[in-house]
Amino acid sequence: MLTHGSILVSLLWLVEQIPTPPPPVKRPRGRQEFFSDKLFVKALIVMIIRRLYTAYALLSFLDQDDPVAHQIRPLLTEHGRFPTRRTWERCVEKLPARLPALIGCLGRSLVTRLQSWTVQGPAAAVDSTPLRANGGVWHKQHRLVGEVLHTSIDTEATWSKSGYHGWWYGWKLHLAVVVGSIWIPLAAEFTIASDADNVMAPKLLEQLPLEVRCVLGDTHYNTPELRAECALHNRELVATRRGPYPHRDGGVEVRRIFHKLRSLAIEPFNGLFKNIFEWRGQMPVKGLKRCQLFALGAILLYQIVLLDQHQRQQPVGVGIKALLRAA
């Protein structure tokens, strides 16, 4: 019989099985790290599911006289030692820079395990989705003179505009997702809202599986530089062309089919992701690094849930919100 908290514990156990990028050839300078990244990934999963947004809140939760906390604490111990609060804060602060590589590594593994491209050709859809900043907005007229009218304003966020969402103040989550029946995130980056999609796209392309032959994007990705980048890896960039509709050039019907496939992959996933983690309004924290930590951590958690469902032989990608609520 499943006990209360067993879903969360099983997800933490699963972290030990996920593949990780190879370590750097040359050890970085400075003090050698005693604890592994996987330990802090486990802690991040607990923080996201239980909505604990600081190291202090995490440690306070683990100190509770609660059966779930008693099960989790040994899983956050390594080499017989439990990190101090300062260690949690310092190491969790370094984690955002390492999460994109972890997401890419697990995404490539999931594609193989779930056999995502047995029915249709290997393709990935790329796009960005807005995430609004926590608190108030910093209007341009006040930003130019450095005047912060309210302490709730996140001064690290920026403004951006899209044809669908209009103007927003906050961040961008850049994603590459499998085009198929199961939406698998393959790569993710998190930036300020003003960072252009085509500038961040090469980082997403680095993490894609070698099998990917088609990269589907909207007009923002239709640049010579990205086409050249895709050509280096024997890939074809299929992106919406600029100019008034209807387009009448050669290949327009083929592009329409690919654009439909893209809209059935990346756009529903963006909505699903925000619905699962309930970030349709605002990010739950402030500051670029902390927002990176929780947004990218949520993508990694989504991948881990897919892996958990696959290993349990359950329908993959179904009922994720309910599962995380029950964890």
More confident residue, 251 or 109: 109
Helical packing angle, 288-311 and 99-114, nearest 10°: 20
pLDDT for 308 equals: 94
37: its two tokens: 């990244």
Task: State the pLDDT confidence band at 21, using cuts at 50, 70 and 90.
Answer: confident
Side chain identity at residue 127, one-letter code: D
29: its two tokens: 């300078």
DSSP 8-state class, residue 245:
S
Every domain of the chain and the residues it spans: 6-97, 119-285
Whole-number percent of the chain with pLDDT over 70: 92
Topology (CATH) of 119-285: Nucleotidyltransferase; domain 5 (3.30.420)
pLDDT for 2 equals: 39
Strands 185-192 and 214-217: unpaired
Strands 123-132 and 214-217: parallel
Side chain identity at residue 195, one-letter code: D
- Is 127:217 a contact under the CB 8 Å cutoff? yes
Backbone angles phi and psi of 168, in degrees to 5: -150, 155
Per-residue pLDDT of 131-166, as tens digits, reads 999 988 999 899 888 888 888 899 999 999 887 778
Per-residue pLDDT of 172-202, as tens digits, reads 999 999 998 889 999 999 999 999 999 999 9
Question: Hey, CA dihedral for 283, 285, 286, 290, is it positive or negative?
Answer: negative
pLDDT tops 90 at residue 226: yes
pLDDT tops 60 at residue 5: no
Q: What is the mean pLDDT of the chain?
A: 88
Question: Hey, CA dihedral for 288, 100, 119, 273, is it positive or negative?
Answer: negative
pLDDT for 227 equals: 92
Whole-number percent of the chain with pLDDT over 90: 60
More confident residue, 265 or 302: 302
Task: State the pLDDT confidence band at 124, using cuts at 50, 70 and 90.
Answer: very high
109: its two tokens: 């593994």
pLDDT for 190 equals: 97
E-state strands within the chain: 123-132, 158-162, 166-178, 185-192, 214-217, 236-239
Distance (Å, rounded) from C-alpha 39 to C-alpha 98? Answer: 13
pLDDT tops 50 at residue 1: no
pLDDT tops 50 at residue 224: yes
pLDDT for 146 equals: 87
Cα Rg for the chain, rounded, in angstroms?
Answer: 21
pLDDT tops 70 at residue 285: yes
Q: Which of 153-162, 229-238, 241-250 has the lowest mean pLDDT?
A: 241-250
pLDDT tops 50 at residue 15: yes
pLDDT for 113 equals: 93
Task: State the pLDDT confidence band at 247, using cuts at 50, 70 and 90.
Answer: low
Distance (Å, rounded) from C-alpha 69 to C-alpha 143? Answer: 44
* Of the candidates 186, 203, 183, 189, the residue with the CA atom closest to the CA atom of residue 276: 183
114: its two tokens: 């779930």
pLDDT for 171 equals: 95
Residue 286 has a CB neighbour count (10 Å cut-off) of 18
Task: State the pLDDT confidence band at 3, using cuts at 50, 70 and 90.
Answer: very low
> Tokens 């654009």 map to which residue?
259
Peptide bond into 244 cis (omega under 30): no
213 three-state secondary structure:
coil
Task: State the pLDDT confidence band at 4, using cuts at 50, 70 and 90.
Answer: very low
Per-residue pLDDT of 76-114, as tens digits, reads 998 888 888 888 888 888 899 999 999 999 999 999 999
pLDDT for 163 equals: 75
Burial grade of 143 (CB within 10 A; 0-12, 13-18, 19 or more): middle
295: its two tokens: 């947004």
